[in-house]
Amino acid sequence: MFARQFKINFLRNLPISRYYPTYKRLLSASLTEGNVVVVQQPNGGEPLQFPSVWLRDNCQCSECFHDNTKSRQANWKRVNVESRIRSINGSHENNALTIDWQDDHKSTFTLAWLQDRDFAPTNRKRYIEEVYKPTYQLWAKSEFQNVLRTFEFKDVMTQDKVLLEWLESLAIQGFSIIKNSPHNITVVRQLADRIGYIKRTTYGIRSKVQRQRT
Ligand SMILES: [Zn+2]
């Protein structure tokens, strides 16, 4: 029922000349009864999916999102999480979707923005396995030489591609060897700085792990 209603709203908001024959190329969306917004892409790719409450939380209007600093201003104490969608309209000109909410907010999302944040199962699986947490590889002693990866210290420090390969080897195989590093105690610090900011712990930024002499 909801899907049909929003499709009708969408068509009503388009000039007559655009109903046909370009309809299949336009951005359109429907709402399922589980409050999931399903976006049909103009190029015919896999439909994009978003929980409606997530879209409301990420409303891009000037009251919810500060465009200059690209930061969210929404405050959950002020947001009505029960707010429902009043209508969804696709725009042919800027390839964007505009959602009118029952609490009078109006959110406009471009297709590129939606594609980057797609909640569809295939995209979530790709994100988890390729970006967030690569699937680790189990290996046995007999396979050690096959899974061993070796990197040059200089390459890790100077080439982003090699840095990524090294980090992937740590995430997937759990180890690797870095060769030809300088012979001094700053190497670990240099590598850590190469990855990102160092997280301070109760032991400080850096701590020694060494065996006590008995
Ligand atoms: Zn808003």
Cis peptide before 134 (omega within 30 of 0): no
ipTM, two decimals, is: 0.98
- pLDDT of 1 above 60: no
Domain that holds residue 143: 132-195
Phi, psi (rounded to 5 degrees) for 177 = -120, 135
Does 170 lie in the same domain as 142?
Answer: yes
Whether 154 is covered by a domain: the verdict is: yes
Whether residues 61 and 143 fall in one domain: no
Task: Calculate how far, in angstroms, residue 66's C-alpha sits from the geometric centre of ligand 1.
Answer: 10
d(CA 196, CA 99): 38
Over its C-alpha atoms, the chain yields an Rg (Å, rounded) of 25
Q: What is the pLDDT of residues 113-138, one digit of tens each?
A: 999 999 999 999 988 888 888 889 99
Co-location of 140 and 116 in the same domain = no
The token duo for 50 is: 């978003």
Rounded to the nearest angstrom, the distance between the alpha carbon of 59 and the centre of ligand 1 is: 5
Whether 167 contacts 195, CB under 8 Å? yes
| pLDDT band of 55, cuts 50, 70, 90 | very high
Among 120, 149, 167, the domain-final residue is 120
| Ligand 1 geometric centre to CA of 63 (Å) | 5
Which residues line ion ligand 1, judged by CB < 5 Å? 59, 61, 63-64, 105
Residue 35 lies in a domain: yes
Name the CA dihedral angle for 60, 23, 8, 56, rounded to a multiple of 10 degrees. -20
Per-residue pLDDT, 20: 40
- Cα of 72 vs centre of ligand 1, distance in Å, is 10
Average pLDDT over residues 80-100: 87
Indicate the average pLDDT of the chain. Answer: 85
Tokens representing residue 17 in the block: 């000349």
Q: What is the pLDDT of residues 148-158, one digit of tens each?
A: 999 999 999 99
Which CATH number is 105's domain given? 3.30.2020.30
Give distance in angstroms: CA of 98 to centre of ligand 1: 11
